[in-house]
Amino acid sequence: MKFLKRAYCRTFQCMFKIIMPLLPYREPKRVKDYEELGYDLLELGGRRALVVTDKTLNDLGLTKNLLETLKKMDINYFVFDKVLPNPTISQIEEGLKEYKANSCNCIVALGGGSVMDCAKMIGARAVRPNQSVAGMRGLLKINKKLPPLVAIPTTAGTGSEVTVTAVITDDKTHKKYPINDFSLIPHLALLDAELTLGLGKFTTAATGMDALTHAIEAYIGRATTKKTREASLKAIKLIKENLLSAYQNGNNYQARKNMLEASYLAGVAFTRSYVGYVHAIAHSLGGKYNIAHGYANAVILPVMLKSYGESAHKKLAQIAKYVGLADASASNEKAAQSVIDWIEGLNFTFGFKSNFPELIETDIAELATAANAEANPLYPVPVLMDREELEHIYHKLLVQ
Ligand SMILES: [Zn+2]
C-alpha cells in the first residue's frame, strides 16, 4: 500500500481507538433460562413478538421451549421461519412485512448468524422505514434504538448475539457486506447449549472456525484493549480445548456449552477490536459464490496469517504460549508457526480444502475491490494491503 493511503488508514484507525471508550458499546443481558427471558422481555415492553428462525430449526422443534414460555407469559408471537443462509434484503423485507402486519413490538431471533443478522435488520427497518437496507451499509447509519431484540444462538461461531454487526447479501448485486451500528446489539441473549447438540459436523466445524477467526483477527489487530485481548485469548483456549470434542461427539454437552461461551467471548472481542482481511475476503466469496462464512474463514485464515509474516509473529506467539501450543522459551517465529500449523491441522481433520474450486480468476479484480472497500481504512490489520495486494491473496486461494 502506498505511503499516503497507509498514513490515512492508520490515522483513521487511531482516531477510532482513541474515541472507543466514549462509544456506546454495551453487552446484552445474559439470561439463564427461557423463564428469565420471558420476564425480562415483558419488562422491556415486549407484548407481540416476531420470532425469527429458519424452517429446519422450527420443524425440528428447537423453538418449542421458547414458544411455550412466550405463551405462558401472555406474549403473543408470530413465527417468521423463512430465513436462509446468507440472508438477503428480500428476506429482511419479507420479515418486516410480517412484523408490521402483526403489529409486533419486539423480536426474538432463534438461529445461527444468518437468523440473528436478519432479525437485527428487520428491527432496523422497523425503526427506519424510509431508509433502505443498502443505505445502512457501513458504519453508524441506523442511529435509532431498535425494538427489544432477543438473540438465542443455535450455532457456536458468529457471536452475533453480542455484536454491533449484521452481515447482509444484496440479492440483486450478490454483494455481501456488514452493517455496523450500536443499536444492533441485542438487548437479551440466552446461550442454550441444548440447541446446539444436534448440529452437524460441517456446521460445527465451520462455525467453530468462524469464532476462532474472530478471536485471532481481533487479537492481532492494532485496536485491542485489555478487555478484548483477554476475551480473545479465553475464546481461543476454549476452542482449542473443545472444538474437536464437539466435532467428534456432537452430544458432548460440556464441549457444546464451552463452544457457545467461546463464540460469545470472540464476539465481545471483535465487536470492539474489529476483524481483518480474512473476513473481508470471506464476505466477498460468500456473496459471489454463496460459500459458507465459517468455512471460507477457515480456508483463508492460514493463508492470511502467513502473508502477514513477521508483523504478526509477536501476537501469534502470545496466543501460542497462552493456549499451550508453544513453550514459553520458543521464539516468536516458531511459536507463531505453531498457531498456523494448528489451524491447518484442524482444517485437515475437518476435511476442509486449502483453496476454493468456485473461485474464478477473472472474478478476482471485482472481489478484491469489494474486500478493499470493506476493510480499508476501518480494519486495524497488522499489515495494510491495497486492492492489488489483496488480489495476490485471492490468487493463492485459486485451485493451482
Ligand atoms: Zn465471522
Q: How many CB atoms lie within 10 A of CB 101?
A: 10
User: How far away, in angstroms, is 161 Cα from ligand 1 center?
Assistant: 12
Residues of the chain with pLDDT under 70: none
User: How far away, in angstroms, is 214 Cα from ligand 1 center?
Assistant: 6
Question: 3-20+199-396 is classed in which CATH architecture?
Answer: Up-down Bundle (1.20)
Residues surrounding ion ligand 1 at CB below 5 Å: 210
User: How far away, in angstroms, is 383 Cα from ligand 1 center?
Assistant: 20
User: How far away, in angstroms, is 306 Cα from ligand 1 center?
Assistant: 19
User: How far away, in angstroms, is 68 Cα from ligand 1 center?
Assistant: 31
User: How far away, in angstroms, is 159 Cα from ligand 1 center?
Assistant: 8
pLDDT at residue number 1 = 87
User: Where exactly does CATH 1.20.1090.10 map onto the chain?
Assistant: 3-20+199-396
Amino acid at the residue 170: D
pLDDT at residue number 376 = 93
Does the CA dihedral 87-188-297-5 come out positive or negative? positive
DSSP letters, 277-300, are HHHHHHHHHHHHH---HHHHHHHH
User: pTM of the full predicted structure?
Assistant: 0.95
Q: How far apart are the C-alpha atoms of 164 and 136, rounded to whole Å?
A: 13
pLDDT at residue number 125 = 97
Reported as a single tens digit per residue, the pLDDT across 96-120 is 999 999 999 999 999 999 999 999 9
User: Where exactly does CATH 3.40.50.1970 map onto the chain?
Assistant: 32-196
How many helices, marked H, and strands, marked E, lie in the chain? 15, 9
- Do residues 228 and 218 lie in contact, with contact meaning Cβ atoms separated by under 8 Å? yes
Report, in angstroms and rounded to the nearest whole number, the Rg of the chain calculated over CA atoms.
20
User: How far away, in angstroms, is 62 Cα from ligand 1 center?
Assistant: 24
Q: How far apart are the C-alpha atoms of 311 and 116, rounded to whole Å?
A: 35
Q: How far apart are the C-alpha atoms of 260 and 244, rounded to whole Å?
A: 14
User: How far away, in angstroms, is 211 Cα from ligand 1 center?
Assistant: 7
User: How far away, in angstroms, is 279 Cα from ligand 1 center?
Assistant: 6
At the top level of CATH, the class of 32-196 is: alpha beta
User: How far away, in angstroms, is 145 Cα from ligand 1 center?
Assistant: 24
User: How far away, in angstroms, is 101 Cα from ligand 1 center?
Assistant: 32
User: How far away, in angstroms, is 21 Cα from ligand 1 center?
Assistant: 24
3 state DSSP class of 177: strand
Reported as a single tens digit per residue, the pLDDT across 246-278 is 999 999 999 999 999 999 999 999 999 999 999
User: How far away, in angstroms, is 294 Cα from ligand 1 center?
Assistant: 6
CA-to-CA dists, residue 92 to 375, 391, 396, angstroms: 25, 32, 35
Mean pLDDT computed over every residue of the chain: 95
Interhelix angle 364-375/277-289, nearest 10 degrees: 130
